[in-house]
Amino acid sequence: MNNPIAADRHPAIHVLQAAASDSVLADHALMRGAATTLPRATLRLQLHKDFNFSQARRWVPYAASLGISHFYVSPILTARAGSQHGYDIVDHGAVNAELGGEEGLRALVDTLRAHGMCLLVDIVPNHMAVGGADNRIWLDVLEWGPASRYANFFDIDWDVPDPALTRRVLVPLLGKPYGEALADIELCFDAATGRFYARYFEHRLPLAPASYALLLHSTNNEFAAHASLLRNALGDQRGARGSRFEAICNDFAQTVVRDPALQRAVRNLLDAYNARTEIALARLHRLFERQHYRLAWWRTAADEINWRRFFDVIELAGIRVQEPAVFEIAHATIFRLYAEGLIDGVRIDHIDGLADPRTYCRRLRYRLGRLTQQRPPSAPRGDPYILVEKILGANERLVRDWRVQGTTGYSFMNTVGALFHAPRAEQPLTQLWESFSGRSGNFDNEEKAARRRVPQELLAADFSACAHALHNIARRDALTRDWSLAAIRRVLTEILVQFPVYRLYADARGRSPADTEVMAQTVAAASSFCRSNERPLLALIDAWLGGEPPLQLTSNSARRARLRAIARFQQLSSPVAAKSVEDTAFYRHGRLLSRNEVGANPGQFHLAAQDFYRECEARARDFPHALLATATHDHKRGEDLRMRLAVISEVVPEWAAAVATWS
């Protein structure tokens, strides 16, 4: 069969991944091409508007000829317009129209089925794209604040100590300090809905309904009747405030369309706020002070943001997928597509960002399992295939009771990469790096230095939220209330610096034996760096973070406080690890860059063959259907480049001479 496209030249085709085991290879039906949800090999496709479902269909015959059993595609739900990756989802309720919509998806699946192939899709339960004007849930939160029907959809702390943010959301999207940016903000009227809103470049900022009466009374009496109706609607205690407000706004919009005098009045009102005068800017400022959000310069986010982000990306807001209502909204389309036989499995993005990964995975398995019986007879056989994107630390194992088939393959990528480095090169390459750079050749030193800075700089607000959650626990007990917030911050810092994995998975039941061992190791290491008089606090924090199972507490409020602190810590330690290791230390430690890869530890230069075999045996025993990847869409260097760099470990003298010549 002729290949119509050069596979090694197309930017949307990223990686070939295999999920093979003895049990799979022994399945003769699978080897003959009969469709099953368990993959033999997957081809990952990065979908976007220029490489959509239609273009992907062209690859199906070629992929089938290679023995590929599954297309493994980037997220397919509606993402921000023009997205090149799909992880910035703005609507969970529809398949992305830029990819071809549901019609295009069905055509792709028909072609896959004709070739005995399946579809694995990436899902994003951790976050959504915010800002702009395209996420109706986020806009509802900005409009109604804590009264929004979606107030608990995003992971917002509505009760932070800062009085300027109490019951408000920080919106740090301004390109300059707030006072300077006011002149760039325009008050607008939506003639279709009768709503007023502010516009800042591409961002839509709805106004709180309670501020409409002030707005309409501020410059013109022609709106008095409308303002009175709005006040009455918002004072309604029968739970219909939102629907009544919307109905009144719609009536107002229709009235404005019919009445030229009101149209002029609306224009005059907007002019009164949009004139670039001191009076107009002061008027606009007073209006923003009445909103459920506080507009801010983007640089304030690291220190003051009161909602969880995807790492430090202010365009991606964390969602509370642990809440049943949020879980259902975020997965409704995925569940329907699975029940209709259009998808056969899911890859869970950024599992460590969730408050409770174990419960999430088990809930997802249960829901998909219940839907399996609804799938059409033509759908591939077998249980839903579920993978997690998870980076495992040294000696860390994926927890089996999550009920997933395994990870997306970072651990295999690490072990197979380490296997191809000559052990004799470690010492001379370390010496070469130290003499050339003047930096330590010990990667652990670079990592710990980064871990000390990242929580205080990039993730300062997240760090403070965790410290406040722990301080709240301390204040609840007469025996511990004298431990200050500053002391808690110091001890928490040392815990994060010494933390050897991305996160723990404690819950109301406490910790697993593996997590208990991790925390014991952390506490022992941190103790040496804590002030001697604060070591008792280290033991207390250890207990508060799951060492004492919250279920053992008799007080409901005490249990909630412990669970909140546990979630805050576990959702902090993961981004601290990622930003410290992958995005900082990897770029400060250059002994040999083939070992500076996502999921790898550059401190481990080489893996002996017998250790590699043991890793393979453990994987075959515990997670025989996990992906075996030599590259992922998140890797920093391609597999071919990493292998060429690994060869340097065989020719260190020649490499040292070349470095000397080049420098």
- What number is the average pLDDT over the span 117-137? 98
- What number is the average pLDDT over the span 583-592? 96
Per-residue pLDDT of 52-62, as tens digits, reads 999 999 999 99
Total residues belonging to the chain: 663
Of the pLDDT bands very low, low, confident and very high (cuts 50, 70, 90), residue 218 is low
Per-residue pLDDT of 525-546, as tens digits, reads 999 999 999 999 999 999 999 9
DSSP state at residue 507: B
pLDDT of residue 221: 67
Of the pLDDT bands very low, low, confident and very high (cuts 50, 70, 90), residue 245 is confident
pLDDT of residue 224: 74
284, β-bridge pairs: none
Query: Residue 4 above 70 pLDDT?
Result: no
Query: Residue 239 above 50 pLDDT?
Result: no
pLDDT of residue 20: 42
pLDDT of residue 217: 73
Across all residues in the chain, what is the average pLDDT? 92
pTM (predicted TM-score): 0.92
Order of strands across the sheet that contains 195-200: 186-190, 195-200, 203-206
Radius of gyration of the chain (CA): 28
Per-residue pLDDT of 391-416, as tens digits, reads 998 889 999 999 999 999 999 999 99
- What b/e string do you get for 263-294 counting C-beta neighbours within 10 Å, with b at 16 or more? eebbeebbebbbeeeeebbebbeebbeebbbb
Of the pLDDT bands very low, low, confident and very high (cuts 50, 70, 90), residue 236 is low
Per-residue pLDDT of 11-38, as tens digits, reads 454 444 544 433 333 333 333 445 688 9
- Single out the residue of 363, 382, 367, 378 nearest to residue 336, CA to CA: 367
Per-residue pLDDT of 84-122, as tens digits, reads 999 999 999 999 999 999 999 999 999 999 999 999 999
What SS3 state is found at 190?
A: strand
Q: Say which amino acid occupies 426.
A: E
pLDDT of residue 228: 76
Per-residue pLDDT of 187-202, as tens digits, reads 999 999 999 999 999 9
DSSP state at residue 155: -
Instruction: Using a pLDDT cut of 90, give the percent of the chain over it.
Output: 83
Say which residue, 261 or 326, is predicted with more confidence. Answer: 326
Phi and psi, residue 128, nearest 5°: -135, 160
Phi and psi, residue 39, nearest 5°: -80, 150
- Single out the residue of 540, 537, 556, 538 nearest to residue 548, CA to CA: 540
95, β-bridge pairs: 77
pLDDT of residue 411: 93
Bridge-based pairing of strands 385-388 and 345-348 is parallel
pLDDT of residue 241: 65
**Alpha carbon distance 552, 255 (integer Å):** 61
Query: Residue 377 above 50 pLDDT?
Result: yes
**Alpha carbon distance 287, 227 (integer Å):** 15
- What number is the average pLDDT over the span 371-381? 94
- What number is the average pLDDT over the span 269-291? 94
Structure tokens at 527: 């103790």
- What number is the average pLDDT over the span 222-241? 67
**How many CB atoms are closer than 10 A to CB 500?**
17
Of the pLDDT bands very low, low, confident and very high (cuts 50, 70, 90), residue 235 is low
* Residue 386 CB contacts under 8 Å (≥ 6 apart), including other chains: 345, 346, 348, 361, 364, 365, 368, 403, 404, 405
Per-residue pLDDT of 449-485, as tens digits, reads 999 999 999 999 999 999 999 999 999 999 999 999 9
**How many CB atoms are closer than 10 A to CB 349?**
20
Note whether 354 and 125 are within 8 A (CB).
Answer: yes
CA angle 251, 256, 261 (to 5 degrees): 145
